[in-house]
Amino acid sequence: MVTTSSYSNVNVGPEVFINFRGEELRENFVSHLYKALRQSGINAFIDSDMVPGDKLITLFKTIEESKIALAILSSKYTASQWCLEELVKIMECSTNGEGCKNLVVIPIFYKLSTSIVDKLEGEFGVNLLNVWREPGGARESRIVKWNAALQDMLSRAALIYDGSMYVNNFHFTFTK
């Protein structure tokens, strides 16, 4: 269970699961988004809320319990197998997969063109290929699932942050 010690007005239980590539976004865009959600009384979950040593299955359980998932796709997103596996789970839960609520999914394209995602071009495509080449698991089924999840994000209404505004000046406002 996610703790609420940082913000006393936050609801118990995950409401918003934030899926993102930590190395690239944790200290800027996501930290501002997370703080704004929590201050608005919305229980947001990011992987730093996990107990050290927790496994991917713990994240899957949190996704299943969440009402909304924000999938923040960036140029380095596909360098993480965990991000891709979470995205597959998010897609499954958005279609009432086993053990899931009807998860609402909002893709956010962070300084990333949707055409790059669609065509798997540039750093985004290279990273995906490199992760796919890593040993372990059924490679063919992994790439098919990952691509299906990425294509699913392209089929949804999405938010696009092109970087033209400084993240520090970007105002997040949420209402319940």
Which residues are catalytically annotated? 86
CB 122 within 8 A of CB 75: yes
CA distance 70 to 87: 10
> Per the structure block, which two tokens stand in for 95?
């279609």
Amino acid found at 142: R
Q: Where are the alpha helices (DSSP H) in 40-138?
A: 56-65, 81-94, 114-119, 122-133
3-state secondary structure of 68: strand
DSSP assigned state of 133: H
- Would you call 23 exposed, middle or buried from its count of C-beta atoms within 10 A (0-12, 13-18, 19+)? exposed
Q: For the chain, percent helix, then strand, then coil, each to nearest 5?
A: 45, 10, 40
